[in-house]
């Protein structure tokens, strides 16, 4: 689903949606626009009109002429006039929410003068309705990105459908997902016609600068982001059970449950390098930063471990976790879901990449599955309750961004949406 903060990504099948709660409250800002401001002239008329933040306008009518001034702004405005001899003067000022407006006029000798000022009340930003206005949903400037606003909450928008969506990722322009029946597909983040990149059933995927990398039954492959011929890297065989994929500028990294290990191969092709065969039987997520590869061993006593991306000793960061599943990271912290096996016993966790004690960010979750993070919040999907959630990264109240018609399993975010 694209949620506004949110774009929502799919609650299968795929709902790469836009809705829910926009990630960023992006306020629309006006610019200074001078429509017309002629000089006064004898026997003529003078008209001045200005629209901007904190604008003002003034004009003086010529002898026997009239003077009209209008100022409109989102931050307080003023307008003043002086009518010419025998002329008239009209001044109007309008300001938006929570601002002030003033208007003044002075008629010339034998002329008439009138003034008007208008200002709306309420909290700033130029909006009056935050309960149903999709441009100001829940807060002024919070845009639903094309979705409806209901009871101050942005509603999801379906971007595409898919038979059996698996993983999802997003870049600046498109949403990508795998389908273990149909392959890899993309759709523009703002909506549009989906593009089928490959028709070979696929599972995990990762986005590079120019290519999308994905796992199939016949190996690890890459395809240009806009579509084109596929390149195969690692052939599949009877012992291969791919379960996690990551990519950086030089290499592709993956987890293999069948071979019970972590591996990498150069992006330009070459020999496969074994990072470790210490992986468990439920490898289900891998992630990398500039120095290390991190992975999850699932199960009732799950672990999170890491290894240098060039190879080296394995470090166990956390153990005794209850069915840990997907995870995400920022500069110094890991975030993951403990799915649990009983409803409302799941949790969303965090811990430093360097190790230490894990911290619970959200307890009592209904089978949390996948997680994403931005500069301020952690986002996740609860499979059993069909909800998209978020909570502050530093801890705080978890809130529901959207409830889907189906069970959501994967999540991705960009700067505007979930």
Cα(213)–Cα(223) distance, rounded to whole angstroms? 7
Give the three-state DSSP class for 378: strand
Distances in Å between the Cα of 16 and the Cα atoms of 166, 192, 300, 361, 417 are 12, 12, 31, 26, 10
Residue 13, preceding bond cis, omega within 30 degrees? Answer: yes
Residue in this structure with the two tokens 């995870």, named with its chain if needed: 327
Q: What pLDDT is recorded for position 279?
A: 59
Low-confidence ranges of the chain (pLDDT < 50): 1, 3-65, 67-125
Which whole-number Å values give the CA distances from 95 to 73, 98, 99, 284, in the listed order?
5, 8, 6, 56
Res 129: pLDDT? 94
Residues 6 or more apart whose CB falls under 8 angstroms from that of 356 comprise none
Distance (Å, whole) CA 176 – CA 222: 13
| CA gap 84, 23 in Å, rounded | 54
β-pair type (153-154, 56-60): unpaired
Q: What is the pLDDT of residue 91?
A: 46
Cα gap 83→103, rounded to integer Å: 14
Q: Number of C-alpha atoms within 13 angstroms, CB side, residue 368?
A: 32
Report pLDDT for 330: 97
267 three-state secondary structure: coil
Q: What is the three-class DSSP state of 372?
A: strand
Q: What is the pLDDT of residue 100?
A: 39
Q: Which residue is associated with the tokens 């069970």?
A: 407
Q: E strands of 37-111, at which residues?
A: 46-51, 56-60, 66-73, 77-82, 88-95, 101-106
Q: From its phi and psi, is residue 267 left (phi > 0), alpha (psi between -120 and 50) or beta?
A: alpha
Question: 396: Cβ–Cβ under 8 A, 6 or more apart, which residues?
Answer: none
Instruction: Please give the pLDDT value at position 237.
Output: 60
Q: Which of 290, 62, 213 is nearest to 198 (CA)?
A: 213
| The pLDDT of residue 126 | 66
- Cα 404 → chain centroid: 17
Enumerate residues 6+ apart whose C-beta is below 8 A from 363. 347
| Two tokens, residue 125 | 């930003």
Would you state the pLDDT for residue 311? 94
């Amino acid at each position: 689903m694209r949620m506004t903060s949110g774009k929502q990504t799919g609650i299968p099948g795929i709902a790469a949606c836009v809705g829910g709660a926009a990630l960023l409250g992006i306020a629309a800002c006006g610019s200074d626009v001078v429509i017309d401001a002629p000089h006064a002239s004898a026997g003529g008329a003078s008209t001045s009109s200005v629209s901007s933040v904190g604008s003002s306008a003034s004009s003086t009518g010529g002898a026997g002429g009239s003077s009209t001034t209008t100022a409109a702004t989102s931050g307080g405005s003023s307008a003043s006039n002086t009518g010419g001899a025998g002329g008239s003067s009209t001044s109007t000022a309008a300001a938006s929410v929570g601002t002030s407006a003033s208007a003044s006029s002075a008629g010339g000798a034998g002329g008439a003068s009138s003034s008007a000022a208008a200002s709306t009340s309420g909290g700033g930003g130029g909006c009056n309705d935050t309960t149903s206005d999709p441009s100001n949903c829940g807060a002024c400037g919070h845009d639903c990105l094309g979705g409806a606003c209901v009871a101050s909450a942005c509603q999801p928008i379906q971007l595409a459908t898919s038979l059996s969506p698996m993983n999802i990722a997003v870049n600046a322009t498109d949403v990508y997902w795998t389908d273990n029946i149909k392959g890899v597909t993309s759709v523009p983040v703002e909506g549009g016609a989906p593009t089928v990149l490959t028709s070979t059933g696929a599972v995990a995927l990762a986005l590079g600068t120019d290519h999308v990398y994905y796992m199939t039954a016949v190996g690890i492959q890459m395809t240009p982001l806009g579509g084109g011929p596929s390149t195969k890297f690692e052939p599949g065989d009877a012992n291969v059970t791919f379960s996690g994929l990551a990519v950086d500028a030089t290499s592709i990294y993956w987890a293999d449950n069948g071979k019970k290990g972590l591996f990498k191969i150069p992006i330009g092709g070459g020999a496969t390098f074994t990072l470790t065969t210490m992986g468990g039987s439920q490898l289900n997520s891998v992630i990398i930063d500039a120095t290390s590869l991190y992975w999850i061993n699932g199960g009732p006593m799950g672990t999170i471990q890491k290894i240098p991306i060039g190879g080296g000793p394995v470090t166990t960061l956390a153990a005794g976790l209850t069915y840990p599943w997907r995870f995400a990271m920022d500069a110094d912290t890991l975030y993951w879901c403990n799915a649990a096996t009983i409803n409302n016993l799941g949790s969303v966790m965090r811990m430093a990449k360097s190790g230490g004690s894990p911290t619970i960010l959200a307890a009592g979750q209904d089978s949390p599955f996948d997680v994403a993070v931005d500069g301020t919040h952690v986002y996740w999907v609860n499979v059993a309750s069909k909800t998209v959630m978020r909570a502050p990264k530093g801890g705080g109240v978890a809130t529901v961004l959207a409830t889907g018609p189906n069970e959501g399993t994967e999540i991705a975010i960009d700067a505007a949406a979930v």
